[in-house]
Amino acid sequence: MTPAIFGCSGPELTADERAFFLEADPAGYILFKRNCENPEQLRRLTDSLREIRGRDRLLVSIDQEGGRVARLGPPEWRKWPAPARFGELYETAPASGIEAMRLNSEAMATELATAGITVDFHAPCDVARPETDDVIGDRALGPEPMQVAALGRAILDGMAAAGVVGCLKHMPGHGRATADSHKHLPVVDAQDADLMIDIAPFEHLAGRANIGMTAHIVFTDWDAQRPATQSPWVVENIIRQRIGFDGLLLTDDIDMQALDGTIPERSVRALEAGCDLVLNCWAKLDDMAGIVEACGTISSESAARLDRALASVEVPESPADPDALVAIRDALFAAADVKL
């Protein structure tokens, strides 16, 4: 198995993709809007990914947070609110904010599970600050670590109830970054003591989450030369030891402009730093082939983490009714007089 998550180019697999994936055997797949036309088509696509290797329990992932990060949306799927809306409810009525987020996450994950998706790269546990770049913006759950942790836990719990594994991101925290890592390499000069605020939500949820994602950010007090994704010191000493996360650790998209070098070179550096899997989103066969050649096969430890993550949830035989869950969610907002 190749220690990577790959994308595919369209709403169905091409013959070249099918042949390549059969040989490469990636650890999983990621879906984007280009892959999602309607529920029936999407289920056929995810079933076809499972059929390649006959693997019923397969990492089939998506970025579905709500708000502007939504790969599935109207008219074929429901529109979901941005995570920040639940932070606003929490600030007025904390218990209602937590419950509304749990209900929302279960309803959203029910849509995903119906489509054959097993992993959602959601919950964003970056602590918001006045200077936080807009790439996070209303994706953030709030400015207080305990608020972020409480709402992040609700996301993980809600999705698990529907049979979907959530993901802590972006470890060790994207809130202090003042640049978009899709375009530039953010550099954070805060001292170790101050960064404890940023890692606090991840610490609280490390034992609950089975999948985590790194940030392409340089934290100069920890490793002034390398972004967290490619820093052995940050991965081992901060993510694994101080945060205490022992789940499946994957990179943010390895194709982001925050990183330098070729795609295979970036991937090797991330795996050597201690990441379990490389996330490559763009379905470019040349890049994917380069990763396969450069990165070899998945380690036994990473394979065990992958198995544990996928085995941590089960799709219920009788899923909850998303309409009923959303109605209760909306009533909680209305009772607190908070706009959804």
Q: Which residues are catalytic?
A: 182, 252
Continuous segment of H or E residues that includes residue 69:
strand 69-70
Continuous segment of H or E residues that includes residue 5:
strand 2-7
Spatial contact of 120 and 104, defined as CB atoms under 8 Å apart: no
CB neighbours of residue 88 within 10 Å: 17
Instruction: Say which residue the tokens 């892959």 belong to.
Output: 35
Q: Helix, strand or coil for residue 6?
A: strand
Calpha distance 65→70 (Å, rounded): 6
What radius of gyration do the chain's Cα atoms show?
A: 19
DSSP 58: -
Dihedral (CA of 69, 73, 77, 80) sign: positive
Supply φ then ψ for residue 31, to 5 degrees.
-110, 150
Calpha distance 145→265 (Å, rounded): 35
Angle between the N-to-C axes of helices 94-114 and 322-335, in degrees from 0 to 180, rounded to the nearest 10: 160
DSSP states along 130-196? TT--TTTGGGS--SSHHHHHHHHHHHHHHHHHTT-B--EEEET-STT--S-TTTS--EE---HHHHH
Three-class HEC string of 277-317: EEEECCCCHHHHHHHHHHHCCCCHHHHHHHHHHHHCCCCCC
DSSP states along 90-128? HHH-HHHHHHHHHHHHHHHHHHHHHTT--EE---B-PPP
Rounded alpha-carbon distances, angstroms, from residue 226 to 115, 117, 221: 38, 33, 11
